[in-house]
Amino acid sequence: MTLKPTNLNHLAIIMDGNGRWAKDQKLDRLSGHKEGAKSAKKIIQACSNLKIKYLTLYTFSTENWNRPQLEIDSLMALLSSTLNNEIQELERNNIVFNVVGKVEDLPKNIQNIIANTIERTKQNTGLVLSLALSYGGRQEIIDAIKKIGASKKSKIIDEEIVKNHLYCPEIPDPDLIIRTAGEYRLSNFLLWQSAYAELYVSKKNWPDFQEEDLMQALKDFENRNRTFGKLTD
């Protein structure tokens, strides 16, 4: 399939349905997460080819820490191996690696891998790939308020001040948020930033989400009329 550049600047994806995919295939949940990682790789490459500037993937939420410890350990091991195996691919494709979330909550070895990957890709000029890790939208807003209070530099709090104290204020708000597995909710993802994001829901579980599904979502987005609260008449 020939991919054409798009005007979309920031795409965010809630990658849902790994567990359901595995259940449908009569496999264990880890197999679903591994297959989901393969889908993520394909979509990252497609977004890079499409010249999309920012891609944020909801990878591990603050709520995910409540899952069984065996699954958490398996997810951390998968994250570690994936980053180690893909760092050269990120460099080769001119992709900037970034993380949004409470990195300090992750195992120390993964923190080190993240720091190394960020350092090795920071001079790249292509797609900015952000993984939301140990991320929660409410916690991000709480942390922003704490930073503002601690700085004591402003007596008036407005939108710009809050934005500048979010985890990655340099990244623009998402234009489009895709969620897979047919769920119609944000699940604590980019709550502040998604105020005017367009939403697109795919019924496919994340491991089944392919380039053609991405293109369908982007085509749908291109036909949206974004007014940002203004009149169009």
| Domains of the chain, residue spans | 12-221
Q: Using the predicted structure, report yes or no on whether residue 66 has a pLDDT greater than 80.
A: yes
Residue 229 pLDDT: 66
Residue 181: name the closest of 32, 23, 16 by CA: 16
pLDDT band at 7; cut points 50, 70, 90: confident
Sequence-separated (6 or more) residues with CB below 8 Å from residue 188: 61, 62, 63, 136, 137, 138
Which of 28, 49, 64, 143 is an active site residue? 64
d(CA 98, CA 124): 12
The pLDDT of residue 3: 55
Give the model's pLDDT for residue 231: 58
Per-residue pLDDT, averaged over 136-156, amounts to 90
pLDDT of residue 40: 98
Which pLDDT does position 4 carry in this prediction? Answer: 60
- What pLDDT score does 226 carry? 74
- For residues 199 and 179, is the Cβ–Cβ distance under 8 A? yes
- The per-residue pLDDT for range 159-203, each reduced to its tens digit, is 999 999 999 999 999 999 999 999 999 999 999 999 999 999 999
Amino acid at 7: N
Residue spans of beta strands (DSSP E) within the chain: 10-14, 54-61, 96-100, 128-135, 176-179, 198-201
Average pLDDT, the chain: 94
How high is the pLDDT of residue 153? 72
In the three-class reduction of DSSP (H, G, I as helix; E, B as strand; rest coil), residue 48 is classed as helix
**105 is a catalytic site residue:** no
Average pLDDT over residues 110-123: 97
| Least confident range of 5-14, 34-43, 152-161, 188-197 | 152-161
pLDDT higher than threshold 80 for residue 155? no
Distances from the Cα of 115 to the Cα of 8, 161, 204, angstroms: 28, 27, 33
pLDDT of 123 reads 97
* Type and span of the H or E element at 79: helix 69-92
- Give CA–CA dist 147/165, Å, rounded: 7
Order across the sheet with 198-201: list the strands.
96-100, 128-135, 54-61, 10-14, 176-179, 198-201
Tell me the mean pLDDT in the region 209-221: 96
Mean pLDDT score, 31-45: 97
Which CATH superfamily hosts domain 12-221?
Decaprenyl diphosphate synthase-like (3.40.1180.10)
What's the gap between Cα 233 and its chain centre?
A: 35
Instruction: Encode 107-151 in three state secondary structure.
Output: CHHHHHHHHHHHHHHCCCCCCEEEEEEEECHHHHHHHHHHHHHHH
64 catalytic? Reply is: yes
